[in-house]
Amino acid sequence: MDDFLNKIPSVIFGRGQEYFEDGHVLKLQEKSKGAWSAKVLGNYGNYKVKIEADGEGGVRSYYCDCPYDGVICKHVAAVAIAIMDEQTVTQITQQQPNPQNWEYLLETTSAEDLRSFVRDYGSQNEAFRRHFVSTFSKPEAIDHRETIGYYQYQVNGIFEDYEYGGYIDYRHSYKAMRDVDHYLILAEDYYGKGNFSEAFSIVAAIAMEGVKAIQYMDDSSGQCGSAIAESFEMIGNILNTNESNALQNIIFEWLHKQVQNSDYNDYGVGDHLETLFFETAIVLNHRNKAHKFLDLKIKELADSEGWSKKYYLQEYLLKRIDLLQSEGKTEEADTIIDAYLNYSKFRQIRVDNALADNDYNQAKGLILEGIQIAGQENEAGTIHDWKVQLLEVYKQLGDDTQYRNLARELFVENTSEIAYYRCFKQTIPLGDWEFERNRLITELKKRQQRYYQGIPPNDLAQIFIEEGMTLELLQLVGGSNNIYMIMEFTHLLDPEYSEELLGFYKSAIEIEATNTGRNEYKALVRYLKKMAGVKGGLLAAQELKESLLQQYKNRPAMREEFQRLQWV
């Protein structure tokens, strides 16, 4: 856990430390050996956190259901700190019957008293009444439109409950989607029981009301968008499972109506909807409606501007090709493909065809043209993808020179991908490798990067590790004066270079100690602990600790945090 915490950005670690100290880690349990779960009190409710150790002193995986979209959140950091400090660990115990336990009361209270309680509580709580009705009632409707309308009324009521001044803020959107999730669960229950009609009515209502509500709510957590996407996913499952042609056609007509609502695309949930629509049009032989829809969308794009025009035109033309091929109109499909070879996805179709026919020369020509076009469009990602395929083509053609040059080029452009380095190395005769390797390293050190001079130190370190160049790795780590890099590669340099490592630690920690603040002092404790783990490092760490306390006498918070270092 200590190593895991070392890799957490200091800002996130600081927030996690505050959460831990403020008691936000509500419950921490070791479910099984090395597998921990916890609940963390967040800004808008409790979040579930899971951390699993790998059995080798590291962390295999971690998870939190909060909306943060970074690599690691403060809730995970707080739980990791709690595990490391071993202060809030609780064991799972078997609960004994307790007269104050609500489940015990539920089982022992009479039905008449329960009805009385529900009646009184429901009269004061509209959300509870809606939840109760959706669970225990079944709408009597003549057709699906009425059933969908019934659920629309229920879902719309939820959003209205949490709306204030025409807007649902982040905190209330969380609560609203919690209530909407109840209907998703209800739909899953109907689906599991084989009641596909009712399941469809519910998720159709969620999609329709959700795309309306998302326009006046803070959905930065993505919960509303996810609920709509889950609704489309269930509709797809219903179409694949249900054998009723009547229901399938009802669903198709609903899909046909929904794809004409551009709001789905505006809020990032339209792709799944359109894919369902086209797949169903092919299966149910409603291709004419699909073609008419495509005619309309392509015409709209002809009159539009902006970065999305090319993306959507490409996607709609691909749908057209699928429709034509499903009708056996391969010549018409081929005409579209060949007319749009400047689009990477259409060119990829032709490349795939060539590879399937083992025509590697044709594939090479198509890819080289693709690289040229992508270069004119400044599409670096597309260029990289073409080069990766071209590398394999050169291999199949037995063109060793081109393969070697491209493998080297790919590595220089993507130094974090050590696989390209290995491909390049395999093409060099053993006697020539040291010269080529050193020439490559020199080039990489001189290479200008956008945000820094030379390649990232960690990437260069991977080359030294790959080549067993331990002395060069030592010099790189020492020259960085970066405590995180020193800690990352300590296990490779200790104990052979323990004396040098201790010098690196001392220099880097002294630099870090110039920063002030409790979170910085907590970090210093972690660095000193790591230093003490180096061969012969305990005494050096103790001396450095005392030196820092002497140097910064007017930092009571530092002295307080350093008390955690209880070395024997």
**What is the pLDDT, as a whole number, of residue 453?**
54
**What is the pLDDT, as a whole number, of residue 99?**
61
**pLDDT tens digit sequence for 313-372:** 999 999 999 999 999 999 999 999 999 999 999 999 999 999 999 999 999 999 999 999
**pLDDT tens digit sequence for 203-225:** 999 999 999 999 999 998 889 99
Q: Give strand pairing partners of 217.
A: 168
Helix (H) or strand (E) holding 36: strand 35-42
- What average pLDDT does the structure give for the chain? 88
CA distance 389 to 364: 9
CA distance 294 to 235: 22
- Class of residue 497 by CB neighbours under 10 A (exposed 0-12, middle 13-18, buried 19+): buried
pTM, rounded to two decimals: 0.66
**What is the pLDDT, as a whole number, of residue 225?**
93
Q: Alpha helices, DSSP H only, in 242-286?
A: 245-258, 263-266, 270-283
Residue 260: CB atoms within 10 Å: 11
* Sign of the C-alpha dihedral computed for residues 325, 329, 330 and 334 taken in this order: negative
**pLDDT tens digit sequence for 434-460:** 999 999 999 888 875 554 556 788 899
Residue 427: CB atoms within 10 Å: 15
* Percent of the chain at pLDDT exceeding 90: 61
- Class of residue 16 by CB neighbours under 10 A (exposed 0-12, middle 13-18, buried 19+): buried
Contact status, residue 91 vs residue 36, Cβ threshold 8 Å: no
**What is the pLDDT, as a whole number, of residue 317?**
95
**pLDDT tens digit sequence for 45-54:** 678 899 988 7
CA distance 29 to 304: 56
**pLDDT tens digit sequence for 453-478:** 567 888 999 999 999 999 999 999 99
pLDDT band, very low/low/confident/very high, at 142 (cuts 50, 70, 90): very low
**What is the pLDDT, as a whole number, of residue 452?**
52
Angle at 118 between CA 115 and CA 122, to 5 degrees: 145
**pLDDT tens digit sequence for 361-408:** 999 999 999 999 999 999 999 999 999 999 999 999 999 999 999 999
**pLDDT tens digit sequence for 277-299:** 999 999 999 999 999 999 999 99
Give Cα separations from 79 to 85, 135, 197, 562 (angstroms): 10, 36, 44, 21
3-state DSSP assignment of residue 490:
helix
Count CA atoms within 13 Å of residue 562 on its CB side: 20
Take residue 549 and report the two structure tokens written for it. 């306390």
pLDDT band, very low/low/confident/very high, at 126 (cuts 50, 70, 90): confident
Average pLDDT, stretch 480-484? Answer: 93
- Say if residue 91's pLDDT is above 50: no
- Say if residue 139's pLDDT is above 80: no
Q: Alpha helices, DSSP H only, in 142-266?
A: 144-162, 170-192, 196-213, 223-241, 245-258, 263-266
Q: What region does 27 belong to: left with phi over 0, alpha with psi -120 to 50, or beta? A: beta
- Say if residue 549's pLDDT is above 70: yes
CA distance 272 to 228: 10
- Say if residue 72's pLDDT is above 90: no
Give 95's DSSP letter.
P
- Say if residue 127's pLDDT is above 80: no
3-state DSSP assignment of residue 456:
coil
pLDDT band, very low/low/confident/very high, at 90 (cuts 50, 70, 90): very low
Give Cα separations from 104 to 109, 113, 114, 297 (angstroms): 9, 15, 13, 60
Contact status, residue 251 vs residue 243, Cβ threshold 8 Å: no
Give 72's DSSP letter.
S
CA distance 118 to 393: 70
**What is the pLDDT, as a whole number, of residue 100?**
58
